[in-house]
Chain A
Amino acid sequence: MKYTEEHEWLRLEGDVVTVGITQHASEQLGDLVFVELPSDGQEISKDQEIVVIESVKAASDILAPLDGVITAVNNLIVEEPSLVNSDPMGEGWFFKMKLKNPSDFDGLLDKEDYEKLTQ
């Protein structure tokens, strides 16, 4: 599992990563009421705004953590945005993507670095 400074987590399985937001981020955002996900098959590049999430308080963008192609999206959280609050690291995942350069993954933050960032 790796992390970004934008409070995303990425879990690598083969050359596909599952992406979501961290517990810390979901707490900071508050109750989510709206999620808009990218389309399956969409090609994305790092730092592109690809997910919109809205809490009761405000709207925020989630940026693509790396270059790649979307291979699956979690429609459950579109139906039930509160899943992101109740289980951000599990059922509340956002999308899966196939990495353009699998080695990019190694350059992301590990758990220790990320935790330092949130303290």
Chain B
Amino acid sequence: MDEVKRTPLYELHKKLGAKFVSFAGYSMPVQYTDGVLKEHLHTREYAGFFDVSHMGQITVWPQKGKEQDLIKCLEYLMPCDLVSLPVNRQSYSVLTNAQGGVIDDIMIANRGTHYHIVANASQKNADFEHLKKHISDTGDVCLLQGKSLLAIQGPLTESILSKVCPETTKMKFLDHYQTKIFSFPCLISRSGYTGEDGFEISVDDKDVASLSQKLFENTHLKPIGLGARDSLRMEAGLCLYGNDLNEKITPPEASLSWSIHKSRRTKSSSRSEFLGSETILDQLNKGTDYIRVGLFPSGKAPMRQGAEIYADSSGDRKIGVITSGGFSPTLSRPISISRILRTSAEQHNEIFVKVRGDLLPAKITNLPFIPSKYKKTYRGTHEIY
């Protein structure tokens, strides 16, 4: 078995009272001394600090004179709009396979000279190989070593970061800048995976502990483990790769149709050809058999990943499965995300989920469970990006 890896902040986590869990080959903090519930609520009310250095950071550089060819190659792998993605801007996207399934969901930023991608920890090596294989003649792909990634999330994030990096007040959702915090070179994006306003900071491994310690001088900022990271993203209705999204689930099935940019949908255009486009564009037109919806369990028992969903209490007709589920600290009740037959979701408001052998009722609801609070406008203006 491979050795379990640690991030450069392992010792700091230990000092902060972390309990560790093995995740995607890394020993990561699942919670600190406050526990998942308090950490979750602290992030929603103040600000949370997440070490997400296990995630992959990949750069893609065009070979000389091949800038436009590289964009074509990259767009063949992901259905976002790279042609008009401005420098210093970032986009959510998915790496699709030939069947329209999802190899990974990623963030890709235009750095001017190159693209910077943030990938899921479990998929980063696969993404790297996939990118290398498909763009070998036009660009150079690099899976970055020696880079850490921090996420600072929550309503007080801007006030905390602006004290040490004034430029952050000028950033809006999905802006992506190279700057310095204290004296440390950082790549900052206004993004995250909690539904809150927040930032992600890419910083050299050698600087990450010093940067983190300085950030913790602000007592509103607390370390948050993977446990609360999961409940936060679930409330925000966001997909966890491996749970709600995988190589057999297409973006429209995962209710991610919005991630197929409209410029990539016109069938006459060459830009509408991407891996899996035949299936995906067809699904956009005709709809999918399965959709991703939220569930509110009627009782107190959480309905977790893998639990089967039935049309009625007889348990005769299986109509789907829970892909993520647990307890919502904000709503103080269980919530689940499910993959369910569209026709059944349209016919039934109440469905039944098998929990420890019993069929328990749950109600279908829209995602997200908690509205997101992204900073989509510049401060003091009403401009919507």
A residues neighboring B (CB under 8 Å): 30-31, 33-34, 36, 52, 54-59, 78, 85
Contact = CB atoms under 8 A, between A and B. Distances in A.
Contacts, number: 40
B334 A34 contact: yes
Contacts of A34: 300-302, 327, 334
Given A31-B37, A33-B334, A54 B302 contact: yes
Interface residues of B, number: 17
Contacts of A56: 36-37, 227, 231, 326-327, 329
B133 interface: no
Contact of A59 (B30, B31, B304, B329): B304
Contacts of A54: 301-302, 327
B16 to A, nearest CB: 16
Given A30-B227, A34-B334, A52-B356, A59 B36 contact: no
B367 to A, nearest CB: 20
B242 interface: no
Nearest to B226: A57
A57 B30 contact: yes
B302 A30 contact: no
Contacts of A52: 301, 356
A31 B326 CA distance: 12
Nearest to A31: B37
Nearest to B329: A56
Contact of A33 (B30, B31, B38, B302): B302
B302 A57 contact: no
Nearest to B333: A33
Contacts of B231: 56
Contacts of B30: 57
A30 B326 CA distance: 14
B35 interface: yes
B353 to A, nearest CB: 14
Nearest to A35: B300
A31 B327 CA distance: 10
Q: Closest 6 interchain pairs by CB?
A: A33-B327, A31-B37, A56-B36, A31-B35, A56-B327, A34-B300
Interface string B2-41: 0000000000000000000000000000110001111000
B302 A59 contact: yes
A54 B31 CA distance: 16
A58 B300 CA distance: 14
A89 B37 CA distance: 21
A34 B327 CA distance: 9
B31 A30 contact: yes
- Of A34, A52, A57, A59, chain B has the most CB atoms within 10 Å of the CB of A57
Contacts of B356: 52
B95 to A, nearest CB: 29
Contacts of B326: 56-57
A59 B357 CA distance: 14
A68 to B, nearest CB: 23
14 contacts: A30-B31, A30-B36, A31-B35, A34-B302, A52-B356, A54-B327, A55-B36, A56-B37, A56-B231, A57-B36, A57-B326, A59-B302, A59-B304, A78-B300
Contact of B227 (A36, A57, A59, A85): A57
Contacts of A55: 36
- Of B38, B231, B326, chain A has the most CB atoms within 10 Å of the CB of B326
Contacts of B35: 30-31, 85
B345 to A, nearest CB: 25
A58 B302 CA distance: 9
A75 B355 CA distance: 21
A30 B327 CA distance: 13
Interface string B212-230: 0000000000000001000
